[in-house]
Structure 1
Amino acid sequence: MNAPRRTQFYLDKSNAKWKGVCAGLADYTGVDVTLVRIGIVILTVLGGFPWTLIAYLIAAWMAPVKPRELDYESREDAKFWQGVRTNPRRTARDVRSRFREIDRRLADVETYVTSSNSRLSQEIESLR
């Protein structure tokens, strides 16, 4: 069996009102679930009646239910994965940028520790 992918559309039964399609769309896109539900209702009322219902039922029938292990641990985690789904290149660029920043800070610490800092040397010697 394949491991579940975070970049796939799933029905979100934990936040579902009926079948979990709107909650799944909200989770997939990062839009508030209330706005997705209101948008679906408005689209249905403004003339998309049979088609929105048909699309909703097809999505509910075809999409898999979101596995429990894909629940997000934090809001930041949810935003990260929504960004991966919407624009993977931008997300990879953000991750590389974060790693560059961490690497720069680590280099600064290394430079400070290995420099000829007499005060730091005295503090280290006093701890021995």
Structure 2
Amino acid sequence: MSTQPPSRTRFYRDTVNGKVMGICAGIADYTGMDVTLVRIMMLAAILLGSGSPIMLYFIAGWMTPKKPHGLDYIDDEDKKFWQGVRASPTRSARDISSRMRDIDRRLADIESYVTTENRSLASEIERLR
């Protein structure tokens, strides 16, 4: 049986930050919601659903893989970026493309400045000799 490599866009249960099996913490991590809010919504679902969400919770805990240790976030910006990728991959790709175009434009400006002849600078250097 082959296993998929770890992916930042996949849903995992977060046993490090979780209380029971880490499903609510995993949902909070995946969606970017506050884990307390997810737990309150789960509690409300259990109370309103006559307890049937408990069975679904444990099935999800049994079927969902644990979050690999190598997928920890570097900082809050990294966490926000990956949550944005999961929420809207198209928008994230468009944002990255826009950033790359901006970097390319700035590099072209630098290259133009360095490679063009600067007559006023050359004349100033000649006067100093």
With the length of structure 2 as denominator, give the TM-score of the two structures.
Answer: 0.85
RMSD: 2.2
Match of 1:110 in 2: 111
**Which residue identity is paired with 1:73?**
I
Of the three residues 31, 34, 51, the one matched with 2:33 is 31
For structure 1, which runs of at least 5 residues remain unmatched after alignment?
A: none
Match of 1:14 in 2: 16
For structure 2, which runs of at least 5 residues remain unmatched after alignment?
A: none
Going by fraction, where is helix more abundant, 1 or 2? Answer: 1
Match of 2:99 in 1: 98
- Percent identity reads 56
After TM superposition, the structure 1 = structure 2 runs for residues 78-93 of structure 1, keeping only pairs within 5 Å, are 78-93=79-94
1:54-84 Cα deviation digits (max 9, x unpaired):
2211111110000001111111111111112
The reply on whether 1:60 has 2:46 as its aligned counterpart is no
**1:44 Cα offset (Å):** 2.3
**Which residue identity is paired with 1:6?**
R
SS at structure 1 position matched to 2:100: helix
Q: How many residues align?
A: 124
**1:42 Cα offset (Å):** 2.2
With the length of structure 1 as denominator, give the TM-score of the two structures.
Answer: 0.85
Distance in 1, matches of 2:121 and 2:80, equals: 41
